[in-house]
Structure 1
Amino acid sequence: MTSQRSLGAEAPEPRPSGLDDDFGFAIGAVFRAYAKAVEAAVGDIPGGPRGYFVLSAAATGEAGSQKSLAERLGVDRTVMTYLLDDLEAADLVERRPDPADRRSRHVFATEHGAERWEELRARVGLVEQHLLGALPEESREAFRGMLCALARHVTGRDGTADPCQVVVEFGIAEEAPRAPRRGRRRSAN
């Protein structure tokens, strides 16, 4: 019998075990570092990082309706309403009725909001630069591109409509998880 070594294939190096090689731990560690630094960078606007993401979408013309923005950011619609109230009070965004459907309101950056977004974007850019500084320079843009592609996939911007459906697509479950049903309370006799 011929060994793999004689066929030119080399045995793979053993991978580190434990947390150093755990995908979830790695994503969590990077996210925690990013979240802490971004909170410091944009903490002076209403909603902190969440407010920054709303302002980013509004300043780049990607916000669309209040409802679609809440869905895209994974924010409860009621929470989004209060966040937009605060951002409007700070003169960063404004809501305008949709001419085609007056029940729907679209979110836009104000002139002041667009200026503030440029400042905040520069701060967030420094955070990203610092975090990506651990990677070789030639890998940074590729990593960022792959991460953004993965984010588009799991948030449904590439055809996955329901983030809960991801567990089915990844083969983790046969159907999307559902909230547990509450049973009736029984009175103690």
Structure 2
Amino acid sequence: MGPVPDQQEGRVDEESGPLHETVGHLLRRVFTGITAEAMQNGAQSRDFVVLDMLADEDAPSQQDLAHRLGINRTIMVKLLDRLQQAGYVTRTRNPANRRTYILSVTDEGRAALKDMRQAVADRDARLTAPLSPPERRRLNELLSGLVAHDEQSTIPSTEHLVAQAHYRLRRLGDHRLEDYGLRTRHFSLLPALDRLGPCPQQQLAQYLYLTEPATASLIEELVQAGLVVRGQDPHDRRRYALELTDLGRARIPAVRDAMRGVEHDIEEILGPDGTRDLRTLLITLLP
């Protein structure tokens, strides 16, 4: 079982509860680990699911494929551009609707998919190694429950289910925060800075289990939004100390409410027992 900070250390503040034990946070950490390994191995998870879906049957349009896989349409366009440039996918004008393109896998794409399937199977085996067979089945059952019915596919991959569940929770959080100009990716940063700040970026990254490049990118977004400022670290004048602005502190209640709302959504879908089981299983998967 991976290390999870105790409730006092992991607590963002007395009201928001142990951040590190929320299903959304745990799922994001598992997803990030999967993505990092997939990118190192070359076959990214989304490339695999797109090719696997198209190998079964052509898609009548990019929009249809994006909807079936639960992938943002803008991201889908970029993904298909990359796959087409690699020679794995073709776009052919749809005779039934000249404004859309039929998507098909090429022979090169099928050959690449064979290697990707093995890579995904290997990653799945490593990912779920800490679990017993009944626990693996329970994990996949719970993850499937989090994925909206019209977004599910027949791809038998824990990696894919983790990604789909992560994307769905991200959309739920984005919807709850859209009126404040924030996104789900900002969930943890503002409450964490409320607790830790002023603090160096490295400390924040370690606290949230984020890479420093990812943390830097997110902090830049919050700086541009006027929610965070970079001051000088009093303990090391060579680096910055991050701190919330008054506006950033004013956004904390909205972030707390959104975080609680997503966790409530999860419990509504899975029930208290399912939510507890999923939390336990995700913790077990962490390194």
SS of the residue aligned with 1:91? coil
Q: Distance in 2 between matches of 1:134 and 1:84?
A: 35
SS of the residue aligned with 2:51? helix
Q: What's the counterpart of residue 13 of structure 1?
A: none
Q: What's the counterpart of residue 114 of structure 2?
A: 118
Q: Distance in 2 between matches of 1:60 and 1:66?
A: 16
Per-residue Cα deviation, 1:148-184 (whole angstroms, up to 9, x for no partner): 231235xx538xxxx69x85xxxx9xx9664569xxx
Shift of 1:70: 3.3
5+ long unaligned stretches in structure 1: 1-15, 182-189
SS of the residue aligned with 1:70? helix
Pick one of 69, 74, 79 that aligns with 2:71.
74
Counterpart of 2:71, as a letter, is G
* Gap change, CA 1:129 and 1:19, over 3 Å in 2: farther
* Gap change, CA 1:145 and 1:63, over 3 Å in 2: farther
Say if 2:62 and 2:101, in contact at 8 Å, map to a contact too: yes
Large movers: runs of 4+ above 6 Å:
none
Say if 2:94 and 2:102, in contact at 8 Å, map to a contact too: yes
Counterpart of 1:75, as a letter, is N
Pick one of 123, 136, 139 that aligns with 1:127.
123
Shift of 1:57: 2.3
Higher helix share: 2
Greater RCO, CA 8 A, separation 6+: 2
**Residues 1:38 and 2:15 are matched in the alignment:** no
* Gap change, CA 1:53 and 1:179, over 3 Å in 2: farther
* Gap change, CA 1:89 and 1:29, over 3 Å in 2: closer
Say if 1:91 and 1:113, in contact at 8 Å, map to a contact too: yes
Q: Distance in 2 between matches of 1:62 and 1:130?
A: 31
SS of the residue aligned with 2:148? helix
SS of the residue aligned with 2:93? strand
Say if 1:96 and 1:105, in contact at 8 Å, map to a contact too: yes
Q: Distance in 1 between matches of 2:53 and 2:29?
A: 26
Say if 2:58 and 2:102, in contact at 8 Å, map to a contact too: no
Shift of 1:111: 1.6
CA RMSD of aligned residues (A): 3.1
Counterpart of 1:157, as a letter, is E
5+ long unaligned stretches in structure 2: 1-5, 8-17, 153-167, 182-287
Pick one of 143, 148, 151 that aligns with 1:157.
151
- For normalisation by structure 2, the TM-score amounts to 0.44
* Gap change, CA 1:98 and 1:33, over 3 Å in 2: same
Shift of 1:64: 3.8
Per-residue Cα deviation, 1:108-143 (whole angstroms, up to 9, x for no partner): 111221121121011011111111111112221231
Counterpart of 1:58, as a letter, is L
Say if 2:60 and 2:100, in contact at 8 Å, map to a contact too: no
- Counting only pairs closer than 5 Å after superposition, residues 1-16 of structure 1 correspond to structure 2 as none
Q: What's the counterpart of residue 23 of structure 1?
A: 23
**Residues 1:99 and 2:72 are matched in the alignment:** no
Shift of 1:147: 0.9
Q: What's the counterpart of residue 53 of structure 1?
A: 49
Shift of 1:62: 6.6
